[in-house]
Structure 1
Amino acid sequence: MTDANIINPLLHAAEQGALPALKQALSPGVNINATNQMGRSAIILASLHQHYDCVAWLIEQGADINQQDNICLNPFLISCLTNDVQLLRLVLPAGPDLTRLTRFGGVGLTPACEKGHLEVVRELLSRTDINVNHTNFVGWTPLLEAIVLNDGGERQQQIIALLLDHGADPNMTDKYGKTPLTLAKERGFREIAARLIAAGAV
């Protein structure tokens, strides 16, 4: 039997959410962290397709939750990118590496702030010590992403308040030297500008 014949049933079962088949496929000698051509392991596939029972079982069996695919996805980063609070709550007790980066160089908090994933942001800030001031490849912190790449509405205001309450530096600039306050004012985000000023922004 070839390696492909051994590995494919595991990945297929994870992608389909077929827990009994997944358990059967993980026979002695099968690598639980084997991947397909996209670099996706069983736990990544199960996470992408919201098969939470499969994710939980794979974690119990020792699957590598930090392993990333060809575009840098892993279960933790998938939860942050897709606003999957249930997945995030499954993964956090397993102790994911919070320093793993997205393909754009952000930590999980970065895209969650950009995309307005309020509940994910709240979970991350209240339950982990993720770096709230991490700078991604384009020179933006989660706070800057929350300002620059969204609409300044109520959800973003709440995210910015959470970030500031949990230690986000209101004066960290982008790579051009622009402060969060400057960027908020340029976009006409008065409520956000007021929050930043109250937090010591200059």
Structure 2
Amino acid sequence: MADNQLVQSFLAAASEGDIAALQNYVAQGVDINARNKQKRTAILLAAMNDHYNAVEYLIEAGADIDLQDETCFNPFLYGCINGKLELVKLMVKAGTNLELLTRFGGVGITPACEKGHVEIVRELLTTTDINVNHTNFVGWTPLIEAIILNDGGERQQTIIKLLIEHGVNVNMVDKYGVTPLTLARQKGFKEIEQILLDAGAC
């Protein structure tokens, strides 16, 4: 089998979660960090298809867990964005780089806050030292994303309380100098407004 065919078969095995095939290709000397046209590695393909046993095998076999594809996905960021708690836990345990950015310039907790993934936010806040005040490319912190990019409901309220418990700066403004409290008021999110006020927001 030609090298390129071998790589394609290896990546297909990762997408399918076929550990025996992965082991066979690795034994044949396939580059464990080989990528497809979208720059996706085997471990990312396994992660995106929920094959966590294959993800664990590839971690043990020495895959680079932090390589990002053309849309900035790696297994950790993919898990944070898509609410995959088990995957996030796996990648944190494996020592993933918490400072790598999404295509919008956020760290992993940023999209998790935006999308209401409470359990992932809780996991990151309690088991890592991820930057809760990180500012993305458009000048938004995880707190600001949690306020303005969702519905202000219970999940968002819980996330905001968690962020406050873990040291978020409730007065850190966006790039226009607007505070989280003002943004909550603009959205009409009374419950979030009160949570911020109780935390000393002004």
TM-score (norm 2): 0.98
Contact 1:113 1:143 in 2 (8 A): yes
CA distance in 2 between partners of 1:153 and 1:93 (Å): 31
In the TM superposition, residue 28 of structure 1 has moved relative to its aligned partner by 4.1
Superposition pairs for residues 25-36 of structure 1, below 5 Å?
25-36=25-36
Q: How many residues align?
A: 202
Cα shift at 1:27? 2.0
Contact 1:184 1:193 (8 Å CA) reproduced: yes
Equivalent position amino acid for 1:163 in 2 = L
What is the rounded CA distance, in whole Å, between the counterparts of 2:39 and 2:106 in structure 1? 20
CA-CA distance at 1:5 after TM superposition: 2.1
Give the Cα–Cα distance (whole angstroms) in 2 for the partners of residues 135 and 116 of structure 1. 18
Query: Given the alignment of the two structures, is residue 60 of structure 1 paired with residue 60 of structure 2, yes or no?
Result: yes
Are 1:9 and 1:22, in contact at CA under 8 Å, matched by a contact in 2?
A: no
> 1:16-57 CA distances to partner (integer Å, 9 max, x unpaired)?
111111111112431100000000000000000000110000
Where in structure 1 do 4 or more consecutive aligned residues deviate above 4 Å?
none
Q: Could you list the per-position Cα deviations for residues 63-92 of structure 1 after superposition, in whole angstroms to 9, with x for gaps in the alignment?
A: 000000010000100110110011111111
CA distance in 1, matches of 2:33, 2:18: 17
CA distance in 2, matches of 1:177, 1:89: 35
- 1:170 maps to what in 2? 170
CA RMSD of aligned residues (A): 0.9
Among the aligned pairs, what percent are the same residue?
58
2:151 equivalent in structure 1: 151
* Mean Cα deviation higher: 176-185 or 18-27: 18-27
Q: Is the 8 A contact 1:72 1:102 kept in 2?
A: yes
Q: Which amino acid aligns with 2:169?
A: D
Stretch moving more, 134-143 or 3-12: 3-12
Residues 74-85 of structure 1: pairs in structure 2 closer than 5 A? 74-85=74-85
Distance 1:11 1:98 in 2: 25
Contact 1:116 1:155 in 2 (8 A): yes
1:86 aligns with 2:86: yes
- Show the 5 A alignment for 1:41-190: 41-190=41-190
2:102 and 2:15 map into 1 onto residues whose CA distance is 22
Deviations 1:77-114 (A, max 9, x none): 01101100111111111100000000000000000000
Describe the superposition over 1:144-167 as per-residue Cα deviations: whole angstroms up to 9, x where unpaired.
000000110011000000001111
Query: Which whole-Å CA distance do the structure 2 matches of 1:40 and 1:68 have between them?
Result: 7
